[in-house]
A and B are shown apart, each in its own frame.
Chain A
Amino acid sequence: MKRAFPILAALSLMFLAYASYQALVVAPTDALQGEVYRIIYYHVPSAWTAFLLFFINFIASVQYLAEAKPSTRSAARWVAIGVGVVGAVAAFVVPLPAGVRPSAIATTALAIPAFYFFIGRYFPAEKLDVLAVTAAEVGVVFCTIVLVTGPIWARPIWGIWWAPGDIRLTSTLVLWLIYVSYLVLRRFSNSAQTQTLAAALAVFGALDVPLVYFSIWFFRTQHPQPVIGGGGSMDPRMLDVLLLSWMAFLFFAFLICWARYRLELMQRQVEEAAALESLMDDSTVSGKAVYGRTGS
């Protein structure tokens, strides 16, 4: 595994370089926006990757909370299945806003039980919290890119850096703030309940992700319509490059998550060893003290 990482990192860099070449040189220029539209190849894949990572954080947090009792574990599994099935059926039965594809909603709903069982299968209970913090931290990095590149695109196109009160922009900023507060909570709290509190915050924080995504359809916003899942349309050559960029970003995100996950495991090993060492020191000192008292 240690040997595979540098090889995969080199492959990831090459993939990112190739995707950048496609985005900056090969993809056709937009007739209305000109060259600046190419920011989409960094902005949109970063947003999708951040959403996916927050989704993983949500599933891992739910599982972490559910693992507390066998009864909640079983109930959470059935809830995940129920949400997936009901969501998939409702997507084709309930009338959706114009531009929203039922298949996109059904796929998202079915992803909930799929990810739930996948994560439950490959991550034991004690590593769920490690996965959650990893996904949240890397998700914040990608969400930061979204919040930085968005205004850089908006300035030449809208004439302003930020549209105050715009629901898509504001909800994305709130999403970023929720996950930053999640990381701050984990960093500075020493309570034994920190992991549980952080998991609860993550579950409620994840509710902002659908709000960010669907805000375009349900509210009036300056933000452009989505390029996939309904609404907007895109030149197939541009779409190919966008999907290629997303694949490159996903591969890169996977590698960063891998490194961060291992780092968190190492960190916990060091903390456990330090705690054990201090416990042994204390018992040695108290043993000597007792010996000293009885001996005198």
Chain B
Amino acid sequence: MNSVHFLYAALCATVVIHVSYIGILFTRYKRLREQMKDQKRS
């Protein structure tokens, strides 16, 4: 396997980990907003 492939694999891994974490934060934020709306309604 060409060593450049390892370089791109590392780059992809870095991007995937960051994007996944941002996705997790966004999901948590959405869930929290819904909870806040429910609290206001009740």
Chain B residues whose CB sits within 8 angstroms of the CB of A155 once the complex forms: 6
Give the size of the chain B interface in residues (CB under 8 angstroms): 22
Task: Contact check, A145 vs B13: say whether CB atoms are below 8 A apart.
Answer: yes
How far, in angstroms, from A109 to B17 measured CA to CA in the complex? 32
Task: Contact check, A39 vs B7: say whether CB atoms are below 8 A apart.
Answer: yes
Most buried by A among B3, B9, B39: B3
Task: Contact check, B7 vs A35: say whether CB atoms are below 8 A apart.
Answer: yes
Chain A residues whose CB sits within 8 angstroms of the CB of B42 once the complex forms: 277
Task: Contact check, A259 vs B25: say whether CB atoms are below 8 A apart.
Answer: yes
Q: Is A141 close to B, CB under 8 A? A: yes
Main secondary structure on B side of the interface with A:
helix
In the assembled complex, how far is the CB of residue A261 from the closest CB belonging to chain B, in whole angstroms?
11
Chain B residues whose CB sits within 8 angstroms of the CB of A149 once the complex forms: 10, 13-14
Task: Contact check, A267 vs B21: say whether CB atoms are below 8 A apart.
Answer: no
How far, in angstroms, from A33 to B1 measured CA to CA in the complex? 14
Our pick among A141, A145, A152, A266 for the contact of B36 (Cβ within 8 Å) is A266
How far, in angstroms, from A44 to B29 measured CA to CA in the complex? 30
Task: Contact check, A277 vs B18: say whether CB atoms are below 8 A apart.
Answer: no
Most buried by B among A36, A252, A259, A260: A36
Which residues, 119 to 175 on A, are CB-close (under 8 Å) to B?
141, 144-145, 148-149, 152-153, 155-156
Task: Contact check, A263 vs B32: say whether CB atoms are below 8 A apart.
Answer: yes
Task: Contact check, B4 vs A270: say whether CB atoms are below 8 A apart.
Answer: no
Chain B residues whose CB sits within 8 angstroms of the CB of A153 once the complex forms: 6, 10
Interface residue range, chain A: 20 to 34
Task: Contact check, B14 vs A42: say whether CB atoms are below 8 A apart.
Answer: yes
In the assembled complex, how far is the CB of residue A139 from the closest CB belonging to chain B, in whole angstroms?
12
In the assembled complex, how far is the CB of residue B21 from the closest CB belonging to chain A, in whole angstroms?
5
How far, in angstroms, from A43 to B14 measured CA to CA in the complex? 9
Q: Is A57 close to B, CB under 8 A? A: no
Chain B residues whose CB sits within 8 angstroms of the CB of A33 once the complex forms: 3
Contact with A along B10-42 (1 / 0, CB 8 A): 110110011001100100110010011001001
Chain B residues whose CB sits within 8 angstroms of the CB of A260 once the complex forms: 25
Task: Contact check, A145 vs B17: say whether CB atoms are below 8 A apart.
Answer: yes
Task: Contact check, B32 vs A267: say whether CB atoms are below 8 A apart.
Answer: yes
Q: Is A289 close to B, CB under 8 A? A: no
Chain A residues whose CB sits within 8 angstroms of the CB of B7 once the complex forms: 24, 35-36, 38-39
Q: Is A195 close to B, CB under 8 A? A: no
Task: Contact check, B10 vs A43: say whether CB atoms are below 8 A apart.
Answer: yes
Our pick among B1, B10, B22, B29 for the contact of A39 (Cβ within 8 Å) is B10
Chain A residues whose CB sits within 8 angstroms of the CB of B35 once the complex forms: 270, 274
Task: Contact check, A34 vs B3: say whether CB atoms are below 8 A apart.
Answer: yes
14 A-B pairs within 8 Å (CB atoms) are namely A24-B7, A24-B11, A35-B3, A36-B3, A36-B6, A39-B7, A43-B10, A46-B14, A148-B10, A149-B13, A156-B1, A256-B22, A270-B39, A277-B39
